[in-house]
Amino acid sequence: MARTIDFYFDFISPFSYLAHQRLPDLAARYGYALAYHAASLADLKQLAGNTAPRVTAIPLKLRYSRIDQQRWADRYGVPIKPPAGSHDSSWLNRGFFFAEDRGRQQDYVVNAWNKLRRDGRDMVDEKLWRDIAKELGWAPDEFVGFIRFEASQQRYQASTRQAHERGAFGVPTMLIGEEIWWGNDRLDFLEEFLKSSASGGRRAVS
């Protein structure tokens, strides 16, 4: 079986951003490739039958979530801010497939998250999209056109369905074969699995 960690994320998810602070290093340290997959958190919840309101609709939970996010960010030594304006991440998630076609998945993810969680920018601002494209060496008009084209929505929906079919009900979700971990706070369990596999112990179920 290919040694790959599949990473399902949504740019709306602060805990996907936080998990990504460790994942590339974990994958490299144990000889795994890190495969990125954009998926809709809202749709994954619906597909799993989770009809609970969003965290933003529960003030007490939102307040705690932001405290928790800051604690993790402090532990990792990274900044974290809520994005300004709209929290519709679908456009940036769709833009991921433009990066995928060019083999620039990690560059795109890092660049976009820096702008959202380090700088606190608005994820539906077209200027943000154009800035990402320029910094990655892409034609901004081509990138924006791709994001707005229906084909990118179809790929996004297909990626979300694949995530659901593999057992994901939220993000961040990490999979190796059929072994699954959900949440930034499960990375220690993922690392234990990687250590065990490296020493000839437990193997992923494919």
Active-site annotation, residues: 13
Residue 123 CA: distances (Å) to CA of 2, 115, 196: 34, 9, 39
Asked whether the beta carbons of 38 and 97 are under 8 A apart, the reply is yes
Look at residues 51, 10, 31, 4 and name the one whose alpha carbon lies nearest to residue 173.
10
Q: Which of 125, 157, 159, 120 is nearest to 144 (CA)?
A: 125
Listed residue (36, 165, 42) closest to 97, CA to CA:
36
Tell me 161's DSSP state.
H
Bridge partners of 5?
34
